[in-house]
Structure 1
């Protein structure tokens, strides 16, 4: 059986990452892979309820972090691990890097405590009892916070995070850079300030270089 792959999409709000997830799913399916598309926080009935609380209710940074990791634990057990076990490519809109970026960077929450919560939530799973589940690849859509703010200004009514000021998103972006520096083999930085087609081409090339997307597909058309 073809082994599963776990690919996450990360970046500050407004970076445009979500628009590429379905396009990559279609490309991978066209290459013969089974694909599961999901998101965090969310992905299960319980985790979606926790997402609604997180995005809509006032709370401090510790409460945010606990809710995020509780949702992640359920998501791993119910969706991510079973999909990987059957050989799917799992495409996830945000994962643990977002927690370090938003709660650790944006909110200024203790990085070491987040690391403890990370290990608690992401180990002890029945399928991987001794390993912490990390992505095989993280696609980081890197965008200057000022440009992200311009994009968000024309978007839907903002949630608790989207409504934060530019200084908040600057800290978030810096935290993403810190995570990428700590795991360069896992992260692939995409220049999200480019036109959408250019970002899509860059993304396809990243997958092709790892042998996860055939060259003919990687050279193909738009998102």
Structure 2
């Protein structure tokens, strides 16, 4: 994103893999180093994002409709949150972005269809993918909160396959992907992910 001085980092992985916690810890580390960072997530806190959250908690709609809703939320999220922060030269840490749509809706509506709906989306400077066994990830998620309609063993297993295909698809398009073993201890996961982020920060600094 040569037109934007900031750094765009997306954290992805199955439910319970630790994305949200890791994003917060990376943000804290960056702030401690004097680097301006913004933590955000999808579904966003915008009007479409809140609708998506309600659908997930109640009854997900068809894959096509959900793909459209996620794309609409992402367009608003990108326009109102991500781009402005990048324009300010900040490091944006987003939990979930296009990869999640490719993994969940892609197998049903097609990867190309998902990409066409997300033509407005930005290509992350770095996509960190947390690799974690489905059983371990769902166990963590269930211990932390009430699982939503998507968080079942069958859906999680299908999503894991979807993530694998989607990652291969994005890497073929030149996406920088950093895989991190999320089954490690929190300190090791943070160190592995933070090293990848820090390696890209010098080029965004004044």
1:120-147 CA deviation, whole Å, 9 max, x = no partner?
A: xx1xxxxxxxxx5111111101111122
49-58 vs 191-200, which deviates more? 49-58
1:41-89 CA deviation, whole Å, 9 max, x = no partner?
A: 1143x13322333322421111111111111111111111111111111
Structure 2: stretches of 5+ with no match in the other structure: none
18-27 vs 152-161, which deviates more? 152-161
Structure 1: stretches of 5+ with no match in the other structure: 123-131, 214-223
- Select the structure with the greater relative contact order (CA < 8 A; seq sep ≥ 6): 2
Contact 2:16 2:141 in 1 (8 A): yes
1:178-197 to structure 2, matched below 5 A, reads 178-184=165-171, 185-197=175-187
Does residue 7 (structure 1) correspond to residue 9 (structure 2)? The answer is: yes
Contact 1:42 1:50 in 2 (8 A): no
Aligned residues: 196
With normalisation by structure 2, the TM-score equals 0.86
1:2-30 CA deviation, whole Å, 9 max, x = no partner?
A: 92011111000010111111111111122
Shift in CA distance, 180/212, structure 1 to aligned 2, threshold 3 Å: farther
In the TM superposition, structure 1's runs of 4+ consecutive aligned residues that sit over 6 Å from their partners are none
Give how far 1:156 is off.
1.5
Give how far 1:198 is off.
1.3
Q: Distance in 1 between matches of 2:201 and 2:82?
A: 22
Give how far 1:111 is off.
2.0
Contact 1:4 1:89 in 2 (8 A): yes
Look up the match of 1:204: 194
Contact 2:7 2:201 in 1 (8 A): no
Task: Name which one, 1 or 2, has greater alpha-carbon Rg.
Answer: 1
Look up the match of 1:161: 150
With normalisation by structure 1, the TM-score equals 0.80
Q: Distance in 1 between matches of 2:124 and 2:177?
A: 9
Contact 1:47 1:75 in 2 (8 A): no
Contact 1:9 1:91 in 2 (8 A): yes
- For residue 83 of structure 1, the aligned residue among 82, 85, 89 is 85
Look up the match of 2:130: 141
1:23-34 to structure 2, matched below 5 A, reads 23-34=25-36
Q: Distance in 2 between matches of 1:91 and 1:113?
A: 26
Look up the match of 1:54: 55
Aligned-partner SS, 2:70? helix
Aligned-partner SS, 1:134? coil
Shift in CA distance, 10/36, structure 1 to aligned 2, threshold 3 Å: same
Shift in CA distance, 60/140, structure 1 to aligned 2, threshold 3 Å: same
